[in-house]
Structure 1
């Protein structure tokens, strides 16, 4: 402690620039703390080694390792040992859940991945270098993103496997109504003219209002770039592990595009004894009208909206045919034909779900949360000419999903095979701080006696000094 205070004093005394002074103090803090953590880990190795020796393990060698933590690089020594079956282990690393060849601590990897959910790889590289002693290249940031994202993907696939192998459905919470919306968005791939579809679903239990602000109640998100068949399996598994849907009325919303049809929702939520109600997304109806009739307001658009709202197909055909008769360009006529086909094919789904269920919940609102939630994908993955590899795109959307659902860290730690409660108890018994901090006992030989030889007269000054020692 005296040494670090001395070094701090030297920095305070010799650094005229207050900015440079604070930077040097920060570097000193990181350096000292990293050294102390390294010493602590090295000290932990001894009791772990001795405990394993009692179990019949053999010591092979002792070597050093450096791991980059958020506060700096930590160097420590640990023992390589062989178990009774001849398999080599680093017991300390295994107890700490540090994997072979792992250069960065779990917190560094998770924090880095979380930052990339909002910032580019190069920006994350710059911020880490500015604010921490962690130095990563943008390529390394990308590699970390893939590892962390794949952990969330594995957790989702694990739920699907568990549901497929289970003899009965999992037991979850019971809710009277469950709302689900799904849609897809394309991002650019690395190959020329290649698009990668991100399938995106969100389930929620209702709405919470605070003044004019409205928030979804208990939302749960699922995103993937896998084929839609795999996507719907993940939706079904995630929902089955959260809810018991036997007596739940499921209400769904989509644009009716390929892969997001009413049949897909019915299959995903087939646990419910009630038919799954599906409505056509109002936003996509609005967009279809604007594409065919233009963005400006007109009497025709107003009348068509009234016909859709009143579910009057005759009036819809009448007003659309009247508008088509005024057109001369083939391109404009083709747009009207596409609108007519889109609306009539989905006519039974252009409804307000609240008019088609018995006793809708108090404060129930129209569905349509998907478009605003798609911004989680589009704002991060479709700006500044970004291109994504299939693996990188899947990892990024899984990181976004894990952050929104607050499951990312849990999924990442599960992949690291953390210690169980029993293993933690054994480790605590193995490592007793009294054994680590206790000073070694040295044998005492008692006080040593002796004399000082005097080769001159006792009356001299040297003689008087010798007498004073007696």
Structure 2
């Protein structure tokens, strides 16, 4: 800890102003956190490899992967493992949700897509560059938005649209009111084409916490295909989780 404090003080002292000092501190911590995160992931991979060995898996190879997180770029080694008559896999990638061939972490993908869904792609490019330790082009933003939309579509088609495959709660909720609000968010996909994210939210009401308010029991649904897909998600969710026989629904 003393070494870190000493290095921080030197960074600040050698900076010309507060902005420069903060930028240097961000870069310093990004590098430090990235390094220890890489070590942590490799420790996780060691433990996962032992668990998979007990299930009959064998190590095929150990190679390096680089993932861009919100806080910085992380390099780490992980094992590819194989079991007879089954496809090879990377246990650590599976555990962390790292997509095949994707250099961004799941949270980073999600955050970029969320920002991009509410503004133009170049504004998202600017926001990422200003608020994170790395930069991204507007074309990559479009690629991320398409990828997240595709994942959402596949999840919708393979699971959520089929209520028979969704785990059903033991008891359905009974509430006096339920509020449903839908909207469409337009984004510029290319020079000649626009895309749209259909978004719906439900809530049981509003509660105050001092001067702030928050939604009670809020859930959000979206689709890049059509409003009908989004509403199907909402209908299935309501059917599975609510008893609306004595509920006033305001939409």
2:46 matched to which residue of 1? 46
Instruction: Return the structure number with greater relative CO, CA threshold 8 A, min gap 6.
Output: 1
**Greater CA deviation, 182-191 or 2-11?**
182-191
Q: CA deviation at 1:143?
A: 2.2
Q: Is 1:240 aligned to residue 221 of structure 2?
A: no
Q: CA RMSD in A?
A: 4.4
Q: CA deviation at 1:65?
A: 0.7
**Greater CA deviation, 218-227 or 71-80?**
218-227
Contact 2:118 2:186 in 1 (8 A): no
Mapping for residues 347-358 of structure 1, pairs under 5 Å = none
1:120 matched to which residue of 2? 120
Q: Is 1:162 aligned to residue 163 of structure 2?
A: yes
CA distance in 2, matches of 1:207, 1:8: 44
Contact 1:178 1:248 in 2 (8 A): no
Mapping for residues 159-308 of structure 1, pairs under 5 Å = 159-162=160-163, 172-175=172-175, 233-245=232-244, 247-248=245-246
Count of paired positions: 245
| 3-state SS in 1 of match to 2:63 | strand
| 3-state SS in 1 of match to 2:80 | strand
Q: Which has the higher strand share?
A: 2
Q: CA deviation at 1:45?
A: 2.7
Contact 1:180 1:250 in 2 (8 A): no
Quick one: structure 1 residues 138 and 173, their matched pair in 2 at CA, closer, same or farther if it must change by over 3 Å? Answer: same
Q: Which has the higher helix share?
A: 1
CA distance in 1, matches of 2:248, 2:41: 53
CA distance in 1, matches of 2:185, 2:117: 17
Q: Is 1:97 aligned to residue 73 of structure 2?
A: no
| 3-state SS in 2 of match to 1:89 | coil
CA distance in 2, matches of 1:11, 1:197: 45
| 3-state SS in 1 of match to 2:161 | helix
Mapping for residues 380-419 of structure 1, pairs under 5 Å = none
Contact 1:69 1:134 in 2 (8 A): no
Contact 2:66 2:74 in 1 (8 A): yes
CA distance in 1, matches of 2:150, 2:205: 31
Per-residue CA deviation, residues 82-138 of structure 1 (Å, 9 max, x unaligned), is: 223363222222222323212111111122122224332211111211221132211
TM-score, normalised via structure 1 length: 0.42
1:345 matched to which residue of 2? none
Q: Is 1:85 aligned to residue 107 of structure 2?
A: no
Structure 2: 5+ residue runs without aligned partners?
209-213
Contact 1:156 1:238 in 2 (8 A): no
Contact 1:180 1:204 in 2 (8 A): yes
Contact 2:149 2:223 in 1 (8 A): no
CA distance in 2, matches of 1:83, 1:111: 35
Quick one: structure 1 residues 56 and 227, their matched pair in 2 at CA, closer, same or farther if it must change by over 3 Å? Answer: closer
| 3-state SS in 1 of match to 2:102 | coil
Q: CA deviation at 1:229?
A: 6.2
Structure 1: 5+ residue runs without aligned partners?
210-214, 252-366, 370-470
Quick one: structure 1 residues 143 and 181, their matched pair in 2 at CA, closer, same or farther if it must change by over 3 Å? Answer: closer
| 3-state SS in 1 of match to 2:76 | strand
Contact 1:45 1:79 in 2 (8 A): yes
Mapping for residues 5-44 of structure 1, pairs under 5 Å = 5=5, 7-44=7-44
Per-residue CA deviation, residues 243-273 of structure 1 (Å, 9 max, x unaligned), is: 224x34767xxxxxxxxxxxxxxxxxxxxxx
Contact 2:34 2:71 in 1 (8 A): yes
Contact 1:109 1:148 in 2 (8 A): yes
CA distance in 2, matches of 1:91, 1:219: 33
Q: CA deviation at 1:148?
A: 3.0
